[in-house]
Structure 1
Amino acid sequence: MKTPSRMLARLALAVSALLTPVVSSAADSGKPLTIAVVGKATTHSYWKSVEAGARKAGEELNVKIEWQGPLDDSKVADQIAIFNNLATSGIDGMVFAPCDDKALAPHVRTAARRGLPISIIDSPLAARQGRDYINYVSTDNKAAGNTAADTLIKLVGPQPAYGGQVLMIRFTEGSASTRQREDGFTERLARDGAFRIVAQQFTDGSMAGAQRVAETLLGNYVKNNKLELDGIFAPNQPSAEGTYNAVNALRKKGVEVKARFVGFDDSALLLQGLDNGVVDALVVQAPFQMGYLGVKSVVAHIKREPVEALVDTGVSVKTKDNK
């Protein structure tokens, strides 16, 4: 089952409609441009795929890629320092995935006022497209949350064993992309009427933190050695991996688990979860495309070429049968 990639807004605006056109000294001199790419983390396979896409675009365009990011998505202060250091280092443009939509916004505005073209990828920013950043390349996160809920509803079927009880392991409060997925998931379940979220909690942004939260919440629903839940949802790679570890541990203890588990992204650990039946489905994004198209957007802007204001890179749903 696949949701085709689609453009949310096929605007193809002239660059002047997005930001004041910037042509760097490197572009004027014919020297290769240097584009910084800053992820929300550097350790997850998801962000390694973003980096690979950015480097592919750099090779095609003869652009130097400067890849940096914090250790994980929770290190907001570290990302602020990385952003500000790069923004004042003489780079020609930046592709940026903000860990926190509000905390990073004033720093992006300042860099934009100084003439640095920035493409936002993966996660939205509380700033104005066309003034503070040139465009946004990402999953339609709310629609992806809807897709996760639709998938869970179909997996559970019309007669939930435990009254439609669903557990949601949330990511960090500052992560706008996962908040949108969680909102989309919650709203779609509410429209169905047969399901309800009975427990949810934010985590610290790490796999280990998600596992601790999941173990606690899951434990509240184990009665007579049975997990009395119909569904489990986790909105990104670290939250899904931590939840997988917690659910797998319950199974190994002999707890009967019939809850259907829908996660996000497709790391080696989560694909293992599909194989062993702990994970039932994964909503998979296109991080390579985010990195690739982000770099393409910045370079096009520098060259005064048209740039799409909003690009949806799409999702697909993986199960054991189609992975």
Structure 2
Amino acid sequence: MYEFRRTLIPCGLLLLCAAIMGCDSQTEQSQKTSDAKPESKKPKIALIMKSLANDFFSTMAKGAETHQQAHSDDYELVVNGIKDERDLSRQVALVEEMVANGVDAIVIAPADSKALVPALRRAREAGVVVINIDNKLDEEILATEKIEIPFVGPDNKAGAKKVGDYLASKLKAGDEVIVLEGIRTSFNGTQRRLGFEEAMKAADIKIADSQSAQWEMSMANTLALSMLSEHPNVKAILAANDSMALGALAAVKNNGKAGEVAVVGFDNIAAVQQAIKEGQILATADQHGDQLAVFGIEYALNLLKDPNAKLEDRETPVDLVTAEDLK
């Protein structure tokens, strides 16, 4: 029995040592695994737009989705929008939701140039890259919030002036026109109004009335009917976007002035292209909506690769579109 115990004890020691060595090996392997660099993941970019009921933003979404499909190895895309361009609280909520969902970048066409800035500041503080497209954020509010957010988009004033100049070439000095403005707290709405005004002033054409239809077709139709009745000598309606131009066109027809009152717009949506071909709308401006979000996405991807890159605005093209251009 004594000899048996002498043999058993060394064997137990051997098993214990083997177990300890095995644990050390597993610990070492675990340490190696934890020290290894995590697998790189594709950045996730959120596109947040204004009204999805507006054809311009539908075109923007399709352009962004087409770009992502062609670059599916480079990034993931989440597309969002609000039903009504006046629903600022919902757009703010979308920004917060995208940050909570861990997106790496937000490309946003803000419904308001001021109201979205605090939410976007919080997104920046959370480490999210933010690119502003379409409607420029208010510079004073950005300064107050102490953040820089680059703007990627067209010179809206210059685009509206091109449309206004073309309309003026079809009118004569002293003629009266009316203007349908966008949301007055939106930078692009203000700039388009200023572009129209500059063109009319240069041609000595009188703006008889100017009111905000808040980018909406139905509101534009109602306002235009009222304004045409109040100003029966009006020769043209300048609408700050194409949805309002279509509403104005319907008002002109209902007022029995088709062919007498010209209509111009801004955005170059499909329905207005057709109306221009048919001679019902005189002109619009093309800010290349199918590429506008793409320009912003590409800038965001560059900043994700180089976080220390200098932030700067980037101007995108805007072109006059007439019947001659659509032949």
Report if TM-score (shorter chain) is over 0.5.
yes
- Structure 2 counterparts to residues 130-149 of structure 1, below 5 A: 132-149=147-164
The separation in 2 between residues aligned to 1:132 and 1:237, in whole angstroms, is: 33
Tell me the alpha carbon deviations over residues 123-142 of structure 1, each in whole angstroms, 9 at most, x when there is no partner.
Answer: 0112549x635421111111
Aligned twin of 2:188 = 177
8 Å contact 1:117–1:133 — kept in the other structure?
no
Post-superposition shift, 1:245?
1.6
Post-superposition shift, 1:165?
0.7
The separation in 2 between residues aligned to 1:204 and 1:291, in whole angstroms, is: 22
2:180 aligned partner, one-letter code: I
Gaps of 5+ in 2: 1-36
Q: Does 1:319 align with 2:308?
A: no
1:283 aligned partner, one-letter code: A
**TM-score using structure 1 length:** 0.81
Overall identity of the aligned pairs, in %: 25
8 Å contact 1:108–1:132 — kept in the other structure?
no
2:132 aligned partner, one-letter code: I
1:265 aligned partner, one-letter code: D
Q: Does 1:53 align with 2:58?
A: no
- Paired residue for 1:103, among 115, 130, 135? 115
Q: 1:279 to 1:220 in 2, by over 3 A?
A: same
- Paired residue for 1:165, among 155, 165, 176? 176
The separation in 2 between residues aligned to 1:53 and 1:134, in whole angstroms, is: 23
The separation in 2 between residues aligned to 1:147 and 1:239, in whole angstroms, is: 18
Post-superposition shift, 1:53?
2.5
8 Å contact 1:113–1:132 — kept in the other structure?
no
Gaps of 5+ in 1: 1-26, 223-227
1:112 aligned partner, one-letter code: R
8 Å contact 1:211–1:242 — kept in the other structure?
yes
Tell me the alpha carbon deviations over residues 60-82 of structure 1, each in whole angstroms, 9 at most, x when there is no partner.
Answer: 25311100010132221221111
8 Å contact 2:160–2:195 — kept in the other structure?
yes
Question: Larger relative CO (CA 8 A, sep 6+): 1 or 2?
Answer: 1
Post-superposition shift, 1:88?
2.1
The separation in 2 between residues aligned to 1:95 and 1:28, in whole angstroms, is: 27
Q: Which has the larger radius of gyration?
A: 2
The separation in 1 between residues aligned to 2:48 and 2:258, in whole angstroms, is: 43
SS of equivalent to 1:148: helix
The separation in 2 between residues aligned to 1:117 and 1:28, in whole angstroms, is: 21
Q: Does 1:248 align with 2:253?
A: yes
Post-superposition shift, 1:216?
1.0
SS of equivalent to 1:290: helix
Post-superposition shift, 1:57?
3.3
Post-superposition shift, 1:119?
0.5
- Paired residue for 1:78, among 63, 80, 90? 90
Q: 1:311 to 1:28 in 2, by over 3 A?
A: farther
Post-superposition shift, 1:202?
0.8
Aligned twin of 2:11 = none
The separation in 2 between residues aligned to 1:239 and 1:220, in whole angstroms, is: 19
8 Å contact 1:270–1:279 — kept in the other structure?
yes
8 Å contact 1:169–1:202 — kept in the other structure?
yes
Post-superposition shift, 1:204?
3.7
2:128 aligned partner, one-letter code: L
Identify the structure with the greater helix proportion: 2
The separation in 2 between residues aligned to 1:41 and 1:28, in whole angstroms, is: 39
Q: 1:307 to 1:291 in 2, by over 3 A?
A: farther
The separation in 2 between residues aligned to 1:28 and 1:301, in whole angstroms, is: 21
Aligned twin of 1:15 = none
- CA-atom RMSD in angstroms: 2.3
- Paired residue for 2:292, among 274, 290, 293? 290
8 Å contact 1:117–1:298 — kept in the other structure?
yes
Aligned twin of 2:280 = 278
